[in-house]
Amino acid sequence: MPPLDHDRCYAAAASRDARFDGWFVTAVRTTGIYCRPSCPAITPKQTNVEFHHTAAAAQQRGFRACKRCRPDATPGSPDWNIRQDVVGRAMRLIADGVVERVGVPGLARQLGYSERHLNRLLTDEVGAGPLAVARAQRAQTARILIETTELTLTDVAFAAGFGSVRQFNDTIREVFAAAPSELRAASATRRDADGAANGAASVQLRLPTRPPFAAVEVLDFIGGRAIPGSERYDGADDQTEQPAVYRRVLDLPGGHGIVDLRTGGTPDAPAADHLVAKVVLTDWADLGTAVHRLRRLFDLDADPQAVDEHLRSQADLAPLVELAPGRRAPASVDPYETAVRAIIGQQISVAGARTVAGRIVEAVGAPLAVDDPVLTHAFPTPAALAEAPDDAFSMPTARRDTIRRLAAAVADGSLRLDVGVDPQEARARLLGLKGIGPWTADYVVMRGLGHPDTPLGGDLGVVHALRALGLDDRSSSVFDACAPWRSYAVHHLWASLDQPPTTSKPTTSKPTTKNPVSSTRTKARS
């Protein structure tokens, strides 16, 4: 990761520019606290501040989180979803809770590095080793549970991943400069004032993102592919003023969870900087993992200004960007599930794929213990799908056998599909399975693994969209010019089939503030 430019970081912090929240934190030596760049407090002298890539790095230096701006409640750095090197993959795995489940040795094994080498790589790049990064995430999860649930503080300690109550108490004091009981007392006052206390059965969270954010468009895209039985989508209703709501089952390490996501604001004016999530979990230790997977599903850590600015520079795509600034490239909560869905969707419509997938979920998926009239089953596990009977698959025999081969490969570990895998390695292994071609493999890389630069060549929707724009669908020149954001170009082209652009001239994009991380905006790394 490029070193932080002190002058540019200070300029961003002095202007309180919220666009840089999550890119770095400002640590103030005279007060011992660290803040997000947009903190409303009086700007300290430039000689009294230092800047760090992550909260974990600031905590390693002994700084505490600012109580006013709450720097742990910002969007994450887009770098970790863009980068495909070992550091980016490590950060994604840590965010997914791997260190809490298998420790640093297990993380190192998944990445194919020694613990010592991995610790050195992360310390050099982000200013903190894997344990420190996981500790910062643990503290954030604990704060959410303290402030939004009625769990006892002892239960919070173990649910957040701490090994003891003493470790929990010490960490919370060090990070937030307050005891857990003090955080709860303060949050109780806020909840009483807001009238929004949550019971122990669920927690409501605000998932921040960087504006602009085409919230309705991304909800419509994901919801339009909802599988009956494990997902449900209700679009916004202007007459009743009900926002768009997406619900789904999550298969998490500690059991199943159910999440409801909706836009903030109103149907007429959805919030441009967050989604609202209601989360119900079997095991509260899964909260951090659930939040991370939801953020990936909705691409909430993206840098939309950088993406839009680049795509607007392509004359053929500029009108599409103007239709929906801040359009995201949604990933998934489970790359394996996405791979199965991609095979189901070969050569059939989206509606047809939903129907077929719903039958498989009902026949093979595990029934949920909760009494929900709509969400009844989890998506089938790899082991269950590999052994499913023929009558569970209402599809051609060849496609059924391909799904079984994929599920068996994931179940026995010969095929890894998770956020820590190298996308190109995963693509090569997918292509090695009979029945999976380039389109399916690329779709899994783009949607399942969240790769931002996948052109998805040969996709029929993309071909039709290019032809509608009067472009040569056999030429790669359009997509080549969109690198390193070709996945976003795919989503704009898909959307254009439902909402063609007007013939008016695109508006001129506003000048953007340069990323303080380096003299140029962060590029995707292959």
Q: Tens of pLDDT along 200-234?
A: 368 888 899 999 999 999 999 999 999 999 999 99
Confidence of residue 137 (pLDDT cuts 50, 70, 90): very high
Q: In what order do the strands lie in the sheet with 25-28?
A: 49-52, 25-28, 33-35, 64-65
Kindly name the residue from 5, 9, 21, 35 that is annotated as catalytic.
Answer: 35
Q: Going by C-beta distance under 8 Å and a sequence separation of 6 or more, which residues neighbour residue 271? A: 213, 215, 263, 264, 265
Mean pLDDT of the chain: 89
Q: Residue 263: beta bridge partners?
A: 275
Number of folded domains that form the chain: 5
Please check whether residue 333 is in contact with residue 248, taking contact to mean a CB–CB distance below 8 angstroms. Answer: yes
Q: Do 424 and 371 share a structural domain? A: yes
Q: Do 289 and 217 share a structural domain? A: yes
CA–CA dist 436, 274 (Å, integer):
37
Which pLDDT tens digit goes with each residue over 56-114?
Answer: 999 999 999 998 898 887 788 888 877 889 999 999 999 999 999 999 999 999 999 99
Residue linked to tokens 């053929």: 316
Confidence of residue 38 (pLDDT cuts 50, 70, 90): very high
Please check whether residue 309 is in contact with residue 270, taking contact to mean a CB–CB distance below 8 angstroms. Answer: no
SS (H, E, C) 104-154: HHHHHHHHCCCHHHHHHHHHHHHCCCHHHHHHHHHHHHHHHHHHHCCCCHH
Which pLDDT tens digit goes with each residue over 329-339?
Answer: 999 999 999 99
Whether the CA torsion 224, 226, 227, 233 is positive or negative: it is: negative
257 DSSP 8-state letter:
E
| 205 lies in some domain | yes
User: Of all helices (H) and strands (E), which one includes residue 206?
Assistant: strand 203-208
| 231 lies in some domain | yes
Q: Do 217 and 129 share a structural domain? A: no
CA–CA dist 203, 181 (Å, integer):
19
SS (H, E, C) 1-28: CCCCCHHHHHHHHHCCCHHHECCEEEEE
Query: Chain-centre distance of CA 245, in angstroms?
Result: 18
Q: Do 95 and 185 share a structural domain? A: yes
- Token pair of 515, please? 């990323």
Q: Residue 255: beta bridge partners?
A: 252
CA–CA dist 77, 517 (Å, integer):
11
Report the relative pairing of strands 255-265 and 245-252 from DSSP bridges: antiparallel
pLDDT for 494 equals 96
Domain boundary, last residue among 73, 107, 130: 73
Please check whether residue 198 is in contact with residue 148, taking contact to mean a CB–CB distance below 8 angstroms. Answer: yes
CA–CA dist 51, 57 (Å, integer):
9
Confidence of residue 347 (pLDDT cuts 50, 70, 90): confident
pLDDT for 186 equals 87
Domain boundary, last residue among 22, 40, 73: 73
What is the CATH classification number for the domain harbouring 393? 1.10.340.30
Q: Do 204 and 261 share a structural domain? A: yes
CA–CA dist 242, 289 (Å, integer):
28
| 53 lies in some domain | yes
- Token pair of 36, please? 């997000």
Mean pLDDT, to the nearest integer, of 419-436?
96
Query: Is pLDDT of 475 > 80?
Result: no
Q: Do 183 and 103 share a structural domain? A: yes
Query: Is pLDDT of 381 > 90?
Result: yes
| 129 lies in some domain | yes
Percent of the chain with pLDDT over 70: 92
CA–CA dist 242, 265 (Å, integer):
10
What is the CATH classification number for the domain harbouring 287? 3.30.310.20
Q: Do 253 and 178 share a structural domain? A: no
| 285 lies in some domain | yes
> Is 459 considered catalytic here?
yes
- Token pair of 14, please? 């002095």
Q: Do 296 and 251 share a structural domain? A: yes
Q: Do 117 and 23 share a structural domain? A: no
Domain boundary, last residue among 428, 448, 468: 448
Out of 147-161, 177-191, 302-316, 423-437, pick the least confident: 177-191
| 110 lies in some domain | yes
Compute φ and ψ for 270, nearest 5 degrees. -65, 145
User: Of all helices (H) and strands (E), which one includes residue 203?
Assistant: strand 203-208
| 461 lies in some domain | yes
Q: Do 130 and 83 share a structural domain? A: yes
Kindly name the residue from 96, 299, 453, 459 that is annotated as catalytic.
Answer: 459
> Is 482 considered catalytic here?
no
Percent of the chain with pLDDT over 90: 73
Query: Is pLDDT of 351 > 50?
Result: yes
Cβ-count burial of 475 within 10 angstroms (0-12 exposed, 13-18 middle, 19+ buried)? exposed
For residue 229, give its domain range.
198-301
What is the CATH classification number for the domain harbouring 93? 1.10.10.60
Cβ-count burial of 411 within 10 angstroms (0-12 exposed, 13-18 middle, 19+ buried)? middle
User: In 3D, which of 250, 454, 393, 208 has the Cα closest to residue 334?
Assistant: 250
Please check whether residue 439 is in contact with residue 458, taking contact to mean a CB–CB distance below 8 angstroms. Answer: yes
Please check whether residue 73 is in contact with residue 208, taking contact to mean a CB–CB distance below 8 angstroms. Answer: yes
| 330 lies in some domain | no
Identify residue 198 by its one-letter amino acid code: N
Q: Do 457 and 442 share a structural domain? A: no
CA–CA dist 191, 80 (Å, integer):
33
Q: Do 83 and 63 share a structural domain? A: no
